[in-house]
């Protein structure tokens, strides 16, 4: 998606350890006008898939997911990163390794919001090693729901998570695919 790629080139910053900082428009400050354009693109890609719910993970996926859900006219569920006393009863849970923060954490979704008849579109801001996407996908499988696919803002293809998950049959649509950030220079596929 040209608009997103241009924005990454203009405002993205490459940091040590293959970190791409896009926090001026994607995941700290959020440009909701850009999100609307991205939502329209996700709709173009998945409009015939009868999506009933959008699933994302806190925190930075939530904004994009909500604006995308407006276009699909469906609710959003966000997986929570730890069990709080506000979530009573049964939950689906999965473990995720964090690329940004390091370490393992649990993600959970209340069972009442993921049903076998649901057709789930996952929306998230980044795909790198695929850990979050694998965790979310396993929640969908545990619920017996159908995973329609995943809509990702930025995929770092050199980190191979997308390659692995696609080889397992997951449909992944990434709006910007970065093949290299070597020397601080961003190159798209």
Find the binding residues for its own copies in span 23-52 (CB under 8 A). 23-25, 27-33, 35-36
d(CA 57, CA 108): 9
d(CA 58, CA 60): 6
The answer to the question of residue 1 lying near its own copies (CB under 8 A) is no
d(CA 34, CA 134): 26
Cβ contact 174:153 at 8 Å? yes
Select the residue interacting with its own copies from 14, 45, 62, 131 (CB under 8 A): 62
Closest CA to 52 of 148, 144, 169: 148
Nearer to its own copies, 15 or 166 (CB): 15
Give the nearest distance from C-beta 170 to its own copies in angstroms.
23
Pattern 69-98, binding to its own copies, x per CB under 8 A? Answer: xx--x-xxxx-x---xxxxx----------
Query: How many residues at the interface with its own copies, by CB under 8 A?
Result: 42
Q: Is 6 exposed, middle or buried (0-12, 13-18, 19+ CB in 10 A)?
A: exposed
Select the residue interacting with its own copies from 3, 9, 59, 189 (CB under 8 A): 59
Give the nearest distance from C-beta 169 to its own copies in angstroms.
27
Give the nearest distance from C-beta 68 to its own copies in angstroms.
9
> Pairing between strand 146-156 and 172-180?
parallel
> Pairing between strand 146-156 and 119-127?
parallel
Would you give the distance in Å from CA 30 to the centre of its chain? 15
For 48, how many CA atoms within 13 A lie in the half-sphere containing its CB? 1
Q: Which stretch binds its own copies (CB under 8 A): 19-27, 141-149, 154-162, 178-186?
A: 19-27
Give the nearest distance from C-beta 110 to its own copies in angstroms.
6
Give the nearest distance from C-beta 189 to its own copies in angstroms.
23
Enumerate binding residues for its own copies (CB under 8 A): 15, 17, 19, 21, 23-25, 27-33, 35-36, 58-59, 62-63, 65-67, 69-70, 73, 75-78, 80, 84-88, 100-101, 109-110, 112-113
């Amino acid at each position: 998606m040209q608009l997103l790629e241009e924005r990454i080139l203009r405002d993205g910053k490459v940091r040590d350890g293959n970190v791409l900082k896009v926090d001026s428009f994607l995941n700290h400050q959020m440009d909701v006008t850009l999100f609307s354009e991205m939502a329209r693109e996700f709709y173009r890609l998945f409009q015939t898939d009868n999506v009933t719910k959008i699933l994302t993970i806190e925190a930075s996926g939530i904004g994009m997911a909500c604006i995308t859900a407006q276009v699909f006219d469906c609710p959003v569920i966000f997986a929570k990163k730890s069990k709080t006393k506000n979530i009573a009863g049964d939950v689906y849970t999965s473990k995720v390794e964090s690329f940004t923060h390091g370490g393992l954490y649990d993600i959970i979704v209340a069972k009442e919001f993921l049903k076998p008849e649901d057709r789930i579109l996952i929306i998230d801001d980044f795909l790198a090693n695929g850990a979050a996407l694998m965790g979310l996908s396993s929640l969908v499988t545990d619920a017996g729901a159908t995973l329609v696919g995943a809509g990702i803002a930025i995929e770092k293809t050199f980190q191979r998570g997308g390659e692995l998950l696609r080889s397992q049959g997951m449909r992944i649509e990434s709006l910007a695919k970065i093949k290299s950030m070597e020397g601080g220079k961003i190159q798209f596929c």
